Amino acid sequence: MARKMWMRGTIAAVSAAAMLALGACSSEPASEESGGSESAEGSGGDELISIGFSQVGAESGWRAANTQSIQDTLTEENGFDLSFSDAQQKQENQIQALRSYIQQGVDVLAFSPVVETGWDAVLEEAKSAGIPVILTDRAVDSEDDTLYESFIGSDFVLEGEMAGEWAVEQYDGEGYKMVELQGTTGSAPAIDRKEGFGTAISGSDIEVIDSQTGNFTRTEGKQVMEGFLQKYDDIDLVFAHNDDMGLGAIEAIEAAGMTPGEDIKIITIDAVKDGMQALADGKINYIVECNPLLGPDLAEIAQKVVAGEEVEKRIVVEDLAFDQEAAVEALPDRQY
């Protein structure tokens, strides 16, 4: 009876037809309000859309897949001249990158904000320069939603809820003690997944005995889990805000002589290849997906914004969820 896999959220996948249209649109001129830059010329003489993208970092398998999707989609062939930078999980690096793209006068700015707060000043600079901004993956918590055109990404509260609902379905009534490995402090996915999970388990007898950040990385996830295992000898369940921290926790649990997935159950979010493999191997118990393939949506929205067309302010990306059996079935066709 347990639901193996289900879909929720609005579907925002880009069809093959839309991708074709994307190529066809690439000869459209940049809009007047685009900052006045002359876009680079493609081989066929078409005007490319120059886009400056500031990535969070390279902290996880999810991020690697996200970067690849963006770089594979925003190509000259598809009508883009992409400038890409990696902020190494530091907000100051992102702000610096955005400022330099503004100075270069790109047609479009896009970024995945490492944390939620502190963006208003640089977003206002972009606005005064007439450069439209597209947020991907993570949100900013700005009062003024005219500072960006569109936000493309998953519903992280829903992801946390889906994970928490499954935990309750499986483990309520067992008096489970749980530890939480949080994502980067102040980031939208860490804040929202914690909230969603907390809401879903409230009223159950799952008790959260500790919660610390592992910064979305495998190394820090392992370190934090080692600390938890030294401090507590009665941990039943780990909720990790991403696969990589869950994979780090697996290493710590195994090093402590226990069996992950059995002695200590593990729930994570992302469903990247390594996570799905660990789930299929029985070391993780459940994963809620977070789809990282945002390149096609970003390309489509950038095209529209430059052409002066209306775009949706919020595009919610579809997410699935997998138990161990579903992971075995899904693994052969996984794209990331």
Q: How far apart are CA 188 and CA 195, in angstroms?
A: 11
State in angstroms the smallest separation of the CB of 99 from ligand GYE: 22
Report if residue 297 touches ligand GYE, rule: CB under 6 A.
Answer: no
Report if residue 192 touches ligand GYE, rule: CB under 6 A.
Answer: no
Tell the burial category of 144 from Cβ atoms under 10 Å away from its Cβ (0-12, 13-18, 19+). exposed
Kindly indicate which of the ranges 56-64, 125-133, 298-306, 323-331 contains the residues binding ligand GYE, using the contact rule CB under 6 A. Answer: 56-64
Q: How far apart are CA 106 and CA 94, in angstroms?
A: 16
Kindly indicate which of the ranges 15-23, 40-48, 55-63, 232-240 contains the residues binding ligand GYE, using the contact rule CB under 6 A. Answer: 55-63
Report if residue 196 touches ligand GYE, rule: CB under 6 A.
Answer: no
Kindly indicate which of the ranges 6-14, 60-68, 169-177, 313-321 contains the residues binding ligand GYE, using the contact rule CB under 6 A. Answer: 60-68
Report if residue 283 touches ligand GYE, rule: CB under 6 A.
Answer: no
Please select the residue that binds ligand GYE; options are 34, 48, 59, 326, rule is CB under 6 A: 59
State in angstroms the smallest separation of the CB of 223 from ligand GYE: 16
Q: Name residues contacting ligand GYE, limited to 149-188 (CB under 6 A).
A: none
Report if residue 62 touches ligand GYE, rule: CB under 6 A.
Answer: yes
Kindly indicate which of the ranges 37-45, 54-62, 124-132, 318-326 contains the residues binding ligand GYE, using the contact rule CB under 6 A. Answer: 54-62
State in angstroms the smallest separation of the CB of 280 from ligand GYE: 19
In a 13 Å sphere around the CA of 233, the CA atoms on its Cβ side amount to: 0
Sign of CA dihedral 318, 61, 15, 328: negative
Say how many C-beta atoms besides its own lie within 10 A of residue 1's C-beta.
3
- Taking alpha carbons only, the member of 138, 243, 240 closest to residue 187 is 138
Terminal CA-CA length for the chain: 28
Q: What DSSP state is assigned to residue 115?
A: S
Report if residue 290 touches ligand GYE, rule: CB under 6 A.
Answer: yes
Report if residue 189 touches ligand GYE, rule: CB under 6 A.
Answer: yes
Q: Which is nearer to ligand GYE, 156 or 228 (CB)?
A: 156
| In 202-294, alpha helices (H) | 218-231, 243-255, 273-280
DSSP code string of 281-301: TTSS-EEEE-----HHHHHHH
Interface residue list for ligand GYE (CB under 6 A): 59-60, 62-63, 137-138, 189, 216, 242, 244, 269-270, 290
